[in-house]
């Protein structure tokens, strides 16, 4: 036995021992409901199985380590790699955008796929929106989903009580979410990093609790159903309307339910691309530069005359606005909303998309959304294990690339001749 092998075996045995201890209480026994109350069912055979699996896995991982070495090594960091990463990111981003544009026209673009792609794009848009807050301004927001909820409920309520159309409500929902952002941000943005995180987390919970309990307005846990579907600028997607005014009649097409799916897909694609374009452009404006400067060094910013509170507030409000827009799209797509859709888990998923993508990288957000939202959607059959796999993926990607999938951070300004 070579020393390396012996070392690996000992290490794997230790891991197996820990695994056995971990598995003993929770896998070895099962609490089962029965007529006499709770019963304890023993299944101690599971413990050695779990330990054996961990032993084999750990041993395999350690023995394969030399082969893996290059793959597992952290992403190169530093200025040299930046430019290459950028060009690659731009290329991937362009290809993805083009692919997204022509997707409904390709033979793969059936209804099922478009539905999934629409969901994915909602998360991409939310990721880009949160990227303004977390990636550019460096504010850790754990309650982003609250603004998403505000957007969704404001559209649903406006449409139900005042009969306003989706296109009228959309800017209004954005504005409302932005004002919630200002309302929350004004008192708390003076707080430093992690305090801000817990307050935003609390705010997200408050919004959810209010939505859950203010039954007369929000319908409580039952939510709001029958949220109006969007129309093609006033032309509804229905088989028959009184005045021959539905989409397929005006355009002389045969009625197909796919029209609406395709339309929804293009709406969210436009909204998402708008978010992307907005954040790409605003990085070059003074306000965007101020965000990034503030993220790097608050004291230096203050001494240069940047007002940290208003600068942070603008990032917070703009991020909230995009969440609000995405929220009202979500409401019109689902036709039904309830507080369940706006739990902390959603905030965590969106934040994970931003961080896993590589903070501040727009293409990274798309890749991370594909990985975190797209893949589990494909494996819906494995319902039970879906969330478990999702959590594992979050941990493993972070261990593999702590700075995110596309980590090269682009300097906003390049000084010198080669810029």
Which residue of 260, 283, 333, 403 would you call a contact of other proteins, by CB under 8 A?
Answer: 403
DSSP state of 104: G
Cβ proximity of 200 and 188 under 8 Å: yes
Q: Does 348 sit near other proteins (CB under 8 A)? A: yes
Which residue of 48, 236, 394, 410 would you call a contact of other proteins, by CB under 8 A?
Answer: 394
- Among 15, 106, 24, 100, smallest CA distance to 61 is for 15
Q: Does 300 sit near other proteins (CB under 8 A)? A: yes
Helices (H), 137-246: 145-162, 166-188, 193-213, 215-218
User: Whole-angstrom Cα distance, residue 240 to residue 270?
Assistant: 28
Which residue of 48, 109, 202, 308 would you call a contact of other proteins, by CB under 8 A?
Answer: 202
Both tokens assigned to 301: 């910013």
Q: Which part of the chain contacts other proteins (CB under 8 A), choosing from 97-105, 194-202, 243-251, 320-328?
A: 194-202
In the bound state with other proteins, the residue whose beta carbon lies nearer, of 115 and 298, is: 298
Cβ proximity of 147 and 179 under 8 Å: no
In the bound state with other proteins, the residue whose beta carbon lies nearer, of 150 and 352, is: 352
Q: Does 304 sit near other proteins (CB under 8 A)? A: no
Which residues, numbered 169-188, are part of the site for other proteins (CB under 8 A)? Answer: 187-188
At closest approach, how far in Å is the CB of 387 from other proteins? 5
Q: Does 37 sit near other proteins (CB under 8 A)? A: yes
Cβ proximity of 295 and 152 under 8 Å: no
Which residue of 56, 65, 209, 382 would you call a contact of other proteins, by CB under 8 A?
Answer: 209
User: Whole-angstrom Cα distance, residue 266 to residue 283?
Assistant: 26
In the bound state with other proteins, the residue whose beta carbon lies nearer, of 210 and 235, is: 210
Element (H, E) at 337: strand 336-337
Q: 3-state class of 288 per DSSP?
A: helix
Q: Which part of the chain contacts other proteins (CB under 8 A), choosing from 96-104, 279-287, 349-357, 373-381?
A: 349-357
Start-to-end CA distance of the chain, whole Å, equals 56
Both tokens assigned to 196: 């801000």
What radius of gyration, in Å, describes the C-alpha atoms of the chain? 25
Q: How far is CA 48 from CA 6, 30, 149, in A?
A: 22, 16, 46
User: Whole-angstrom Cα distance, residue 200 to residue 311?
Assistant: 18
Q: Does 402 sit near other proteins (CB under 8 A)? A: yes
In Å, how far from its chain's centre is CA 160? 28
Count of other CB atoms within 10 angstroms of residue 154: 22
Q: Does 355 sit near other proteins (CB under 8 A)? A: yes
At closest approach, how far in Å is the CB of 279 from other proteins? 18
Q: Does 206 sit near other proteins (CB under 8 A)? A: yes
At closest approach, how far in Å is the CB of 83 from other proteins? 21
Which residue of 61, 92, 198, 293 would you call a contact of other proteins, by CB under 8 A?
Answer: 198
At closest approach, how far in Å is the CB of 384 from other proteins? 6
For other proteins (CB under 8 A), the number of binding residues is 63
Q: Which residues sit at the interface with other proteins, rule CB under 8 A?
A: 18, 21-22, 24-27, 29-33, 37-40, 134, 140, 187-188, 190-195, 197-199, 201-203, 205-206, 209-210, 212-213, 298-300, 344-345, 348, 351-352, 355-356, 359, 384-385, 387-388, 390-395, 398-399, 402-403
């Amino acid at each position: 036995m070579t020393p390396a092998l012996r070392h690996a075996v000992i290490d794997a045995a230790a891991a197996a021992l820990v695994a056995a201890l971990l598995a003993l209480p929770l896998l070895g026994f099962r609490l089962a409901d029965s007529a006499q109350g709770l019963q304890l069912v023993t299944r101690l055979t599971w413990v050695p199985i779990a330990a054996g699996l961990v032993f084999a896995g750990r041993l395999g991982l350690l023995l394969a380590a030399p082969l893996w070495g290059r793959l597992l090594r952290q992403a190169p960091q530093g200025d040299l790699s930046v430019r290459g990463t950028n060009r690659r990111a731009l290329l991937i981003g362009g290809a993805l955008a083009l692919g997204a544009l022509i997707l409904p026209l390709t033979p793969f673009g059936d209804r099922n796929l478009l539905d999934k792609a629409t969901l994915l794009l909602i998360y991409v848009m939310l990721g880009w929106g949160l990227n303004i807050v977390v990636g550019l301004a460096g504010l850790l927001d754990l309650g982003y989903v609250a603004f998403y909820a505000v957007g969704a409920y404001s559209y649903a309520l406006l449409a139900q009580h005042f009969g306003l159309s989706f296109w009228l409500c959309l800017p209004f929902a954005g504005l409302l979410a932005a004002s919630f952002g200002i309302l929350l941000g004004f008192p708390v943005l003076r707080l430093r990093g992690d305090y801000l995180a817990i307050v935003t987390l609390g705010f997200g919970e408050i919004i959810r609790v209010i939505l859950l309990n203010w039954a007369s307005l929000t319908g409580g846990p039952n939510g709001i159903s029958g949220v109006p579907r969007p129309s093609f600028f006033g032309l509804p997607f229905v088989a028959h309307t009184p005045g021959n005014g539905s989409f397929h009649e005006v355009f002389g097409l045969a009625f197909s339910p796919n029209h609406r799916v395709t339309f929804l897909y293009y709406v969210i694609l436009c909204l998402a691309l708008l978010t992307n374009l907005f954040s790409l452009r605003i990085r070059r404006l003074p306000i965007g530069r101020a965000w990034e400067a503030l993220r790097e060094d608050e004291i230096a910013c203050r001494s240069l005359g940047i007002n940290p509170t208003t600068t942070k507030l603008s990032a917070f409000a703009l991020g909230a606005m995009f969440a609000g827009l995405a929220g009202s799209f979500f409401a019109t797509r689902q036709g039904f909303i309830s507080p369940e859709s706006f739990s902390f888990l959603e905030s965590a998923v969106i934040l994970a998309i931003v961080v896993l993508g590589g903070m501040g990288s727009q293409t990274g957000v798309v890749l991370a959304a594909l990985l975190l939202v797209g893949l589990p959607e494909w494996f819906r059959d494995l319902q039970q294990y879906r969330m478990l796999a999702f959590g594992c993926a979050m941990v493993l990607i972070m261990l593999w690339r702590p700075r995110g999938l596309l980590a090269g951070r682009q300097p906003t300004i390049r000084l010198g001749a080669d810029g």
